């Protein structure tokens, strides 16, 4: 199944605002970061600290099912003052 993932901050700067990703059948939230790390090893460290959001809510359960119509986003930590 193919999903579109929105990227923000440094992830978006390095990979673009969105990426398309092929996931296995019946994917869960736990499948997304490893698949992205394989596809884009240069941003592995940024992915490790980014929070996953599905349908505008942060994912708290990695077993959460993912569908092709879900809005998926990866949001790196933000700092500043």
Report the CATH number that the domain containing residue 35 is assigned in CATH: 3.10.20.30
Q: Which domain covers residue 12, as residue numbers?
A: 2-75
Does residue 80 sit within a domain? no
Query: In this predicted structure, what is the pLDDT of residue 74?
Result: 97
Note the pLDDT tens digit of each residue in 59-81: 999 999 999 999 999 999 877 66
Structure tokens at 76: 């790196």
Query: In this predicted structure, what is the pLDDT of residue 43?
Result: 95
Residue 51 pLDDT more than 70? Answer: yes
Query: In this predicted structure, what is the pLDDT of residue 80?
Result: 67
Report the distance separating Cα 65 and Cα 31, nearest Å: 10
Does residue 19 sit within a domain? yes
Report the distance separating Cα 15 and Cα 61, nearest Å: 26
β-pair type (18-22, 2-7): antiparallel
Q: In the predicted model, what is the mean pLDDT of residues 47-69? A: 96
Does residue 81 sit within a domain? no
Phi and psi angles of residue 32, each rounded to the nearest 5 degrees, phi first:
-70, -55
């Amino acid at each position: 199944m193919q999903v579109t993932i929105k990227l923000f901050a440094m992830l978006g700067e390095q990979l673009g605002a969105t990426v398309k990703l092929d996931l296995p059948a019946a994917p869960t939230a736990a499948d997304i970061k490893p698949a992205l790390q394989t596809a884009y090893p240069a941003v592995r460290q940024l992915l490790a600290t980014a929070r996953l959001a599905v349908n505008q809510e942060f994912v708290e359960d990695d077993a959460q099912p993912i569908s092709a119509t879900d809005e998926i986003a990866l949001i790196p930590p933000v700092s500043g003052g």
